[in-house]
Amino acid sequence: MTDVTARNRRNKRRGADWESELRDQLRAAGFDIERLRLTGKDDEGDHIVRRPGGRPLIIEAKNAVFEPSTFVREAVRERDNYARHRGLDPSGVDAVAVVRRRGASWRDAYVLTTVSEYFGLSREVDR
C-alpha cells in the first residue's frame, strides 16, 4: 500500500469517527439525530436532526482543511437533495456544515451557514 493510499484511508476513518462522535454526543445531549445514508451523487448530508415542532436540520459534518464556502455550498446542495427525495420544499429544511476544530471538543466545532439561510432570506443578488 502506498503512503498516499494509507493516508487517504486514515483521513476517511477520522472523518467517519468525527461523524459518529458528533451524532453520539448530540444524541447524549438529548437531540433526535440520525445518520443519513449515502445516495451517490444525490447525497443528502451526514445527519438529520428532528426538532420538536421545528424544521428538520441537515448536518454536513466535516473533518478537513477549512473551506467554508465549499462546506456551506455542499450542505445546501445536500439539503436540497434531501427535500427533493421526500417531496418537501427545501425552504422548510435547514442545513449547516459542522466543522471539527483540531484539538477541540465536539462542542467547540464550527457551525457554518449563510446569512440568507440563517435568516430565511431570498437568494436575490444585492448590488
pLDDT of residue 127: 53
pLDDT of residue 125: 62
pLDDT of residue 1: 62
Q: Calculate ∠ Cα 33-37-43, nearest 5°.
A: 110
Tell me the domains of the chain and their CATH numbers.
3-119 (3.40.1350.10)
pLDDT of residue 27: 97
pLDDT of residue 83: 95
As given in the structure block, the three cell numbers for residue 12 are 476517511
> Which regions of the chain are under pLDDT 50?
none
